[in-house]
Amino acid sequence: MSVPVPRTIRSAAPVLAFIFVAVLVIQVYRSPDYKLIPGYPMLTPFYFEPPEASVLHSVIRGDNVAWTMDNETAWHSVGRHPNQPECWTFEDRFGAYKNLSLEMAAAISNNNKKNRSKKAIILRLGGGNDANGKSAWKSQFIWHVRSLVMEAGYLAGYDVLIFVHLDLNEEDRNAWLQRLPKELQPLVQTFSTRQLKEWIRGGQFKNVYEHNHIPIQMFMEKNPQYDFVYSIENDVRLIGRWDTFLADVDTEYSFHRKYQKSDQNMSSIPDLVSFQSISQPPSDWVWYKEKEDQKCVKHFGGKDNILFSLGAVWGWSRQLTDSLTKLNTEGFNCYFEYFAPTVARWANLTSFFYQHPLYCPNRDSPSERHTINPDKLGKNDPRLVQSSKVPVGCTYYFINIHSQPFWDTWYQNPRACRPPALVHPVK
Ligand SMILES: *[C@@H]1O[C@H](CO)[C@@H](O)[C@H](O)[C@H]1NC(C)=O
Ligand SMILES: *[C@@H]1O[C@H](CO)[C@@H](O)[C@H](O)[C@H]1NC(C)=O
Ligand SMILES: *[C@@H]1O[C@H](CO)[C@@H](O)[C@H](O)[C@H]1NC(C)=O
Ligand SMILES: *[C@@H]1O[C@H](CO)[C@@H](O)[C@H](O)[C@H]1NC(C)=O
Ligand SMILES: *[C@@H]1O[C@H](CO)[C@@H](O)[C@H](O)[C@H]1NC(C)=O
C-alpha cells in the first residue's frame, strides 16, 4: 500500500528541482573563468577561481609613470603599455596559491595527464645549492610555480614540466627530488650532463650555460607529442595571469599572420617566440672569439647574418628544434643566445618578438635600445613588429639591478600594486 504524497509536496517538487538545478548552474557559471575540475582524488568537484587584480583600470598615467602606490619609486613605463588595465597587489597575484587545498594539489599533480596537449612549458632548474637549488624552493617560488601550473596548465591547456639538471648519483638524486613540494613531484623530469653529451650526436657539448638549447632539443625528441615548447628559466616571474599573457602572444601572432605579405609563408604557430627584441650583436662580441663559434659564424655567412636575443623565456617549434639538431649532427654547435635566432632566420622559419611592458625606476629611459633593419628580419617574420628602436632592459634584462627592486618593493609593501609585467631576473 503506498502512502499518498501530500499535494503541496507533489507540486513543490518540480519547483525545488528547478531551483536546485538553477543554483548548480549559477555555481558553475558564476564567472566565465570558473572551471570545473573532475573530482580527484575525491569525488567532489573543484571550483577554481583564478586570481583577479583589485585595481581594474589602467594605472599608466599620461606622463608614463605607473600609479603603483609606491612611496619612493616612480616606475616609468618605457616600453609598450600593458594590454590589460589592471594593477595587482602581491596578495592579489599569489594569495590564491599560498594555502593549497587538496583539490588544487590534485589538479596540479594531474595537469599533464590530460594527454591532449601539443604545447608544453618547461620550467628550467639546476640542482646546485645556490639560487637554482635549495633556496629556489622558498615559499615565493613555490607560489610562482603553482600559479604557472594552474594558469598556463589548467586554464590555458599547456602541459607544464619541471625540467631539472641534476648531476647526482641515484641516491642523492632521489633525495633531491624528495625535497620538492609533493604536489609538484609528478611534473618533474630530470637530465644530466652525461645524458646531454651522449645525446648530441656529432656535435660538441660544452656546458648547459653556453649550450642551453641542447636540453630543450633533447626534451622535444623524447616527448614527441609536443609541437611547441616554452622554456622558462627559474628566475622569471609574471605579474598578471599566465593564461591571459600566453593568449595575448597567440592573438598578436595570428594578427600578423593574417596580414602577412604575399611573398611570406608564416607557419600557423611561430617557430621562435622571443620576449626581448631580436638584434645583431656588436662586431666585437665576446661570443665570437671561440673557435667553435667562428665555425658557426662562417657557416651562416658571416657576422652580418647573426642575430641574438635574451633566452630567459623562449618559445620554440618542433621545426626549429629539428633544425638545430640537424646542424648539431653536421658538427655545428653554437652559443645559446644566437644559435636559435640565427638558425630561425637562416632556415626561413618564423621569429616573433612579443613586445611586453618594461618599467624603469625614477627615469623615463630604458637601459638600452635595440634596432634592426627590416631587411635583417627573416623572410617570414612579422614585418610590423620591430622596425625601429625597441626599448630593452630594466624589468626584463640580463642583470637584476632594476627587476629585483621592482619585485622586492612589491613583496614588502602590501599596499603597492604592479601593472602586468614579465620580470627577469628575480633571485
Ligand atoms: C611605504 O609605505 C608602506 C605602507 O604605508 C609603509 O609600511 C612603508 O614603511 C613605507 N616605506 C617607506 C620606505 O617609507
Ligand atoms: C593559510 O595558512 C596559514 C598558515 O597555516 C594561516 O595562518 C592562514 O590563515 C591561512 N589562510 C587562509 C586564507 O586560509
Ligand atoms: C597518450 O598519448 C600517446 C601518444 O599519442 C599514446 O601513445 C598513449 O597511449 C596515450 N596514453 C593514454 C593514457 O591515453
Ligand atoms: C608554406 O609552408 C608550408 C610548410 O610550413 C608548406 O607546406 C607550404 O607548401 C608552403 N606554402 C607555400 C605557398 O610556399
Ligand atoms: C630561404 O628563402 C630564400 C629566399 O626565398 C631561399 O633562397 C633559400 O633557399 C631558403 N632557405 C632555405 C634553407 O630553405
Predicted confidence pLDDT, tens digits, the chain (427 residues) = 444 545 555 556 555 555 555 554 444 444 444 455 544 444 457 789 999 999 999 999 999 999 999 988 999 999 999 999 999 999 999 999 999 999 999 999 999 997 679 999 999 998 764 434 455 568 999 999 999 999 999 999 999 999 999 999 999 999 889 989 999 999 999 999 999 999 997 778 999 999 999 999 999 999 999 999 999 999 999 999 999 999 999 999 999 999 999 999 999 999 999 999 999 999 999 999 999 999 999 999 999 999 999 999 999 999 999 999 999 999 999 999 999 999 999 999 999 999 999 999 999 999 999 988 888 889 999 987 666 789 999 999 999 999 999 999 999 999 999 999 999 999 8
Helix (H) or strand (E) holding 165: strand 159-165
Nearest atom (ligand 3) to Cα of 224: 4
Give the number of other CB atoms < 10 A from CB of residue 120.
23
Which ligand has the minimum distance to the alpha carbon of residue 380? Answer: 5
For residue 50, give the DSSP letter: -
Extended strands (E) in 237-389: 237-239, 272-274, 313-317, 351-353, 359-361, 368-370
CA dist., res. 123 & res. 141, Å (int): 12
Q: Ligand 4 centroid to 383 CA: how many Å?
A: 18
Q: Ligand 1 centroid to 243 CA: how many Å?
A: 32
Q: Ligand 4 centroid to 265 CA: how many Å?
A: 6
Nearest atom (ligand 4) to Cα of 267: 5
For residue 148, give the DSSP letter: I
Ligand 2 atom 1: the closest Cα is on which residue? 99
Q: Strand, coil or helix: what is 160?
A: strand
Give the pLDDT confidence score for residue 369 in this predicted structure: 93
Give the number of other CB atoms < 10 A from CB of residue 55.
18
Ligand 4 atom 6: the closest Cα is on which residue? 265
Give the number of other CB atoms < 10 A from CB of residue 154.
21
Are 311 and 337 within 8 A, CB to CB?
Answer: yes
Q: Ligand 5 centroid to 19 CA: how many Å?
A: 65
| 99 Cβ below 6 A of ligand 2 | yes
| 294 Cβ below 6 A of ligand 3 | no
| 113 Cβ below 6 A of ligand 3 | no
Give the pLDDT confidence score for residue 131 in this predicted structure: 37
Ligand 1 atom 14: the closest Cα is on which residue? 71
CA distances to 130, 136, 154, 203 from 180, rounded to whole Å, are: 15, 10, 20, 34
Are 217 and 321 within 8 A, CB to CB?
Answer: yes
| 413 Cβ below 6 A of ligand 1 | yes
Residue with cell 607544464: 160
Best residue for ligand 4 mutational test, from 265, 271, 319, 379 (most atoms within 8 Å of Cβ): 265
| 115 Cβ below 6 A of ligand 3 | yes
**Cis peptide leading into residue 425 (ω within 30°):** yes
- Judge residue 49's burial from the number of C-beta atoms within 10 Å of its C-beta, 0-12 exposed, 13-18 middle, 19 or more buried: exposed
pTM of this prediction?
0.87
Ligand 4 atom 10: the closest Cα is on which residue? 265
Nearest atom (ligand 1) to Cα of 69: 2
Nearest atom (ligand 2) to Cα of 98: 1
Q: Strand, coil or helix: what is 338?
A: helix
For residue 81, give the DSSP letter: P
| 73 Cβ below 6 A of ligand 1 | no
Quickly list H helices, 300-412: 318-329, 336-346, 403-412
Question: ∠ at Cα 63 (61, 65), nearest 5°?
Answer: 60
Phi/psi of residue 45, nearest 5 degrees: -70, 160
Are 73 and 409 within 8 A, CB to CB?
Answer: yes
- The b-or-e profile of 82-93 (16+ CB within 10 A means b, else e) is bbbebbbbbebb
For residue 406 the three cell numbers come to 621592482
Q: Ligand 1 centroid to 98 CA: how many Å?
A: 23
Best residue for ligand 3 mutational test, from 113, 114, 115 (most atoms within 8 Å of Cβ): 115
CA dist., res. 357 & res. 311, Å (int): 17
Give the pLDDT confidence score for residue 117 in this predicted structure: 93
For residue 99 the three cell numbers come to 594555502
Q: Ligand 2 centroid to 100 CA: how many Å?
A: 10
